[in-house]
Structure 1
Amino acid sequence: MKYTAQAYLGALLLFTLLFGGCVTETQESTKSSASQSTHGYVDFKRFKEGRPCAEVAFMCLPESRDKSWQSVPTKDRIEDFELTPEVMRRRQAIVQRWRDEEDGKVKEQSMKLSQISEEFYDRVEARKFLEEMEQDLEKEFPGFWRDVPKKVRYRWIRRAMNKAKKFGYDPKKNAPMVELCARIGLDFDKDPKWELITKFIAKKEVHLGVAIDYIDWTIFHKTKSHFGGVPITDWSMRRAHPGLPLPEKPYPKLNDY
């Protein structure tokens, strides 16, 4: 009987050594997988780190404290170009001239005059975009600008537009890059916190709007996309993964709507 009890204890010890280690290894593996799935995840608490404040506002962006760029004019000084009534009348005359040329009502302009007209028109459109973008940010985030001078606002927007070049986007047609920078700052690509966002938008097949909706859902708990106001769902966010960590709060399913 004594021998049998010793044998039983020995077998039990052997079982514990063999399979206990496997259980521990499995648990550690599960923990590791869970850790990897949330690696790089940014919630509101982490979002606030390194910012002057937690709001989506110019004064809460890290670059707002850097005065060195705020007084430096842009290369084309577009922030000094005002859309006066005279400027807008000239723009309208140019547009009408182009229409008349297309209709064959007038002969084509000389190459020099045409170039001057195009340069002037592009300058007007660039300034119009700055004003519209400035107003859109204020509308989306009331109080975004506060008492920031207009010229500084326009310089910041131009810097955000130029950020698009780094990722292969057209800076002249990139309101989404401005929207992204308004949320996480101009130098997000230098901040380890936004490493996954940086890698994600660098993919050519990615639309910046997806990254913005992801941030709005995971950090600000918005339920609708800024682009069109459609609900954020598992279908609308299907392109966000596996590049970005799954959100802690699951997306509603498309069929729920």
Structure 2
Amino acid sequence: MYKTTLLSVIIFLLFTGCDTNDEHVHPHTVYDRIVADKKNYVDFDRFKEGRPCGEVKFMCLPESRDKSWQSVPTKDRIEDFELTPEVMRKRQAIVQRWRDEEDGKVKEQGMKLSQISEEFYDRVEERKFLEEMEQDLEKEFPGFWRGVPKKVRYRWIRRAMNKAKVFGYDPKKNNAIVELCARIGLDFNKDPKWEYITRFIRKKERYIRLSIHYIDYTIFNKAYYAPGQLYTDWHFREAFPDLPKPKRPLPKLHEQ
């Protein structure tokens, strides 16, 4: 059966001028890649496997069923830190002090206020990021949190941020990893189904965003990645052959 199928593929390539977009690829290599793509490709039905449900919501993520981590505070208890008016006034005072120091208005000797206040400022900024990320996910996927306690939301986002460390990236400078985890779960790198995504994003940090676009196009059938911005073959030019080719045709840039 294998020999018959392989012979058919070779004959087809010979009569079509080997139209594979790889001018010097041996037919065996082409056949192996076709088989690999079919094996690795994740459509919506396969996407739902191992999940409580198929929607992009927290309660549909595999880790939502694991209650053990949801009640465990983060090490710095950032989920308990509230951005009260007093906290924000203190933050503003720190920022103003930094500006005064830069302008040479602070003449006193010894440790500058900026040095002893940096930790507090960073804490405020991280809490702001968690709140903004929480709101962004809800905006992109209405009902994403649906009854999930605020503390659990922030703990999940922090865990998603730290996923960047697995790939050698800075968790504080990467919100794309949170958006990726919102779609396919925190432990996607341990799931063979997402092996090609894991390999791909290890190559370059910006490929995390490209992977999100790929998933949105192939699994959720989205046509646009931003208002008026259509997915095209040019948009995914760096994705192939690392990612399986989409089953539905990509619009060609020169035809738009």
The residue number in structure 1 matching 2:154 is 154
Partner residue, 2:8: 27
Equivalent pairs, count: 236
Distance 1:222 1:166 in 2: 28
What residue ranges of structure 2 are gaps of 5+ in the alignment?
13-30
Q: Could you tell me whether the CA contact under 8 Å between 2:189 and 2:198 is conserved in 1?
A: yes
* Distance in 1 of aligned mates of 2:197 and 2:130: 25
Q: Report the Cα offset of residue 176 of structure 1.
A: 0.3
Deviation at 1:109, TM superposition (A): 7.2
Deviation digits for residues 4-28 of structure 1 (CA, Å, limit 9, x no counterpart):
xxxxxxxxxxxxxxxxxx8665126
Structure 1 residue 188 corresponds to structure 2 residue 225? no
Deviation track 1:113-169 (CA, whole Å, cap 9, x = no partner) reads 433211010000000000000000000000000000000000000000000001011
- Whether the aligned pair in 2 keeps the contact of 1:196 and 1:244 (CA below 8 Å) is yes
The answer to whether the Cα contact below 8 Å between 1:197 and 1:244 also exists between their aligned partners in 2 is yes
TM-score by length of 2: 0.86
* 1:23–1:195 distance in 2 versus 1, CA, 3 Å: closer
The structural deviation recorded for 1:233 is: 1.2
The 5-angstrom pairing of residues 63-78 of structure 1 reads: 63-78=63-78
Of the structure 1 ranges 151-160 and 99-108, higher mean CA displacement relative to structure 2 is found in 99-108
How far apart, CA to CA, are the structure 2 residues paired with 1:136 and 1:24?
A: 48
- Specify the alignment match of 2:249 in structure 1: 250
Structure-1 separation of matches of 2:224 and 2:204: 24
Largest Rg, 1 or 2: 1
Q: Deviation per CA, 1:174-224, whole angstroms, max 9, x where unpaired?
A: 110000000000000111100100111111365211000000000001112
- Identical-pair percentage: 74
Residues 102/32 of structure 1: CA separation in 2 closer, same or farther (3 Å cut)? closer
- Which position in structure 1 is the counterpart of 2:135? 135
Map of 1:42 onto structure 2: 42
Q: 1:38 to 1:114 in 2, by over 3 A?
A: same
Structural mapping, 1:1-257, within 5 Å:
25-27=6-8, 34-107=34-107, 110-111=110-111, 113-204=113-204, 206-225=206-225, 230-257=229-256
Judge conservation of contact 2:179–2:212 (CA < 8 Å) in 1. yes
Query: 1:4 — aligned with what?
Result: none
Task: Tell whether the 8 Å contact from 1:38 to 1:246 is kept in structure 2 after alignment.
Answer: no
Provide the C-alpha distance between the structure 2 equivalents of 1:40 and 1:213, rounded to a whole number of angstroms.
Answer: 17
Q: Distance in 2 between matches of 1:151 and 1:165?
A: 22
Quote the offset at 1:34 in angstroms.
3.1
CA–CA distance in structure 2, aligned partners of residues 178 and 50 of structure 1: 20
AA of the residue aligned to 2:245: L
RMSD (Å), alpha carbons: 2.1
2:167 is matched by which residue type in structure 1? F
